[in-house]
Structure 1
Amino acid sequence: MTSLEEVAAYLPSQRIPIDELSDELGLSAAEMKVYRRYYGLAEVCREPGTLTDLLLATAGKLDALRGREERVRYVVQARTMPVVVPYPINPVHEVRDALGLGHATAFAVTHHACASGLLAVDLVGKLLASDGDPDALALVLTGEKTFTLAAQTVPGTAANSEAAAAVLVGTHDDRDRMLGYAARTHGRFYECLSLTDELSGEYQRIYTEALAEVVLAAVGKAGLKLSDLAMIFPHNVNRLSWARLARRLGLPLERIFLDNVPITGHCFCADPFINYRTALDLGLLHPGDRYLLATVGLGSTFSAMVFEH
């Protein structure tokens, strides 16, 4: 049984109002007004250090890792982008070694873009189960730097941010245990930001329905109904897209945790985990609560995962 032993989140103290990014992102005053008023975006985080610094700051907040380093079998970096630093730097190896986890197997997954974080949790859970050691652990690292213009924004949708989350995964039933996972890739949109106008329009038309499909599939695999969910922890691209999903599913919008959208913007694969950690710190989850993480990766993969707290 895949379980979350602990989730840590790190939000750098450096914040930039999105209004100050209009020239950098090539947004007109009218477009920026849409970002603020309709998308609910206000500021983004920036990490002054390197990607390794960002990931280490997050992993360093995992209390459950201290004293259990020898149990970690895998260290996995879940990336939105295949290339996140110049060659030959390798952040996942640097973080592994700095944490004293040199014995662990380290690799990255990028296949689902911003949904790669959920893919990584599912993958390491299966690896741990096949290893047969009930005390073994895996560390999943999420979060990236906005080091290029393409990494700074999803045009017409989101402003991207530099924050991170670290997820310690185990196989114990008494932790936050995974009940169901669903992912679907709509491969005809593989060109991401280079889609033709026709395909881009089609993607916008199918987006809400495709997201609803995987949410319902994950809930169904968990043997639950939507009404059984205490909370949905989404990615933070914008508020409008989740309002549309809430209407499609007939869910109260307050059941979707959107508090971080104006504070962080979109933090690549880290969003659902950051939102989970924030809600936990606010006391919004109680033992026995079922909750769902949901996200979408360009390319385009829709993904949802259900847990019991």
Structure 2
Amino acid sequence: MTYNSYYSIEDFSVYVPSSKADVPMVAEWIREKGFEFPHQEVEKFLNEYRFNLVPVEEDKSLEEMIEQACIPILDRQEISGEKIDRIIFVKTSQVSWHEQNLFRNLRNQYQCIKEASFVALGQHNCATVHYALNLARNIFTVEEKTEQILLVTADKAFHPVLRKIPDSLNGDSSSAILLSRSGKNHRIIDVINFLDGSTFNGVNSDPKDIYWFNATYYFSLRQIILSILKKNQLSIENIKVIYGSNVNYSTWYKLSKMLDCNIEKFYTETIPSVGHLYCTDIIYNIKHSLNKDILKPGDLYLALTIGLGGSYGCSLHEY
């Protein structure tokens, strides 16, 4: 089956710190700061959610983490002589409230991005990466001269309490993907975003609203998958693999039952080793799976994200 696509992912790069902390250690850090992480909850994170380790950046600043992810792609761009027209920066934590320019050194070093315009997104938490993919599609649609966009994600927990959100354990990471209008690899066929504003205030929302969100978000995930499949005249059987964000294992297990498909269709292999990498999850998981020859040319796959505040994203890709 052949699809028309506005753009594709032409290059990947991911940075994950080598230093890691296990669940009991993270729980102890959080308790030392006066916040709760009960021992019975530690057991739940280990056994039901299947978290084990999360990467912790001990030395590099967020700017340096971004550089680690971007440099491999920018080096290849310098060799090819092709310029990058735009940079979209995706974050979850509020890291850019001050005057720091996180891309200043890279722009000074690399000719290919010296004239690139810049935009930062973060309002949809860990689903923001799908809003960025949608923004990139719109840019390619209305700007005929735009050929390449660099999408960058990066997050570093600046306080131990940020390593835990309801049902997830978070690790530091950064990533970069090069989006191309004329590329042929990892074609992005469609992107759908959905917003349920009932928990618009994130972790500061009313506890009753958070409880309701945690009890019902599976239905929203199921609906956004079924919507993108129906829109593109596909069924779940046409999808080779679903790359969900590493929110936890039990979420994807329950969703597989709701979709009447095998849990093996969901790529959950990296949850124990890196935990939830904020907006980097789906990029990390896709890149991680490429070394295992899971995808063959022509295979279709989905990428799926969920963010606190009731944000959801789903994209359909062809390898």
For the aligned residue pairs, the C-alpha RMSD in angstroms reads 1.8
Q: 1:193 aligns with which of 188, 191, 203?
A: 203
1:72 counterpart residue number: 84
2:71 counterpart residue number: 60
1:102 counterpart residue number: 114
Q: Runs (4+) of structure 1 moved beyond 6 Å?
A: none
The DSSP-based 3-state class of the residue aligned with 2:267 is coil
CA contact (8 A) 1:10 1:57 kept: yes
User: Take 1:263 and 1:298, find their aligned partners in 2: how far apart are those partners?
Assistant: 23
The DSSP-based 3-state class of the residue aligned with 2:85 is strand
Change in 2 beyond 3 A, CA 1:91/1:28: same
1:2 counterpart residue number: 7
Compute the TM-score of the two structures, normalised by the length of structure 2.
0.90
CA contact (8 A) 2:30 2:160 kept: yes
CA contact (8 A) 1:163 1:264 kept: no
1:245 counterpart residue number: 255
Matched residues, number: 306
CA contact (8 A) 2:26 2:160 kept: no
2:124 aligned with 1:112: yes
CA contact (8 A) 2:86 2:116 kept: yes
The DSSP-based 3-state class of the residue aligned with 1:61 is helix
1:283 counterpart residue number: 293
CA contact (8 A) 1:143 1:269 kept: yes
Instruction: Give the drift of 1:137.
Output: 0.5
The DSSP-based 3-state class of the residue aligned with 1:118 is helix
User: Take 1:22 and 1:297, find their aligned partners in 2: how far apart are those partners?
Assistant: 22
User: Take 1:97 and 1:267, find their aligned partners in 2: how far apart are those partners?
Assistant: 28
The DSSP-based 3-state class of the residue aligned with 1:295 is strand
Amino acid corresponding to residue 42 of structure 1 in structure 2? N
Compute the TM-score of the two structures, normalised by the length of structure 1.
0.93
Change in 2 beyond 3 A, CA 1:292/1:88: same
User: Take 1:80 and 1:170, find their aligned partners in 2: how far apart are those partners?
Assistant: 24
Instruction: Give the drift of 1:151.
Output: 2.5
1:11 counterpart residue number: 16
- What does 1:140-219 correspond to in 2, within 5 Å? 140-155=151-166, 157-172=167-182, 174-219=184-229
2:30 counterpart residue number: 25
User: Take 1:95 and 1:24, find their aligned partners in 2: how far apart are those partners?
Assistant: 34
User: Take 2:233 and 2:92, find their aligned partners in 1: how far apart are those partners?
Assistant: 30
Q: 2:134 aligns with which of 119, 122, 125?
A: 122
1:267 counterpart residue number: 277
User: Take 2:81 and 2:99, find their aligned partners in 1: how far apart are those partners?
Assistant: 26
2:137 aligned with 1:132: no
Amino acid corresponding to residue 280 of structure 1 in structure 2? L
Unaligned runs of 5+ in 2: 1-5, 32-36
Unaligned runs of 5+ in 1: none
Change in 2 beyond 3 A, CA 1:49/1:216: same
User: Take 2:78 and 2:228, find their aligned partners in 1: how far apart are those partners?
Assistant: 32
CA offsets per residue over residues 181-225 of structure 1, 9 Å max, x none?
111100121011022232122112221000111111122233321
The DSSP-based 3-state class of the residue aligned with 1:72 is coil
1:307 counterpart residue number: 317
Percent pairwise identity = 21
2:40 aligned with 1:35: no
CA offsets per residue over residues 260-291 of structure 1, 9 Å max, x none?
10111111111011000001122111100100
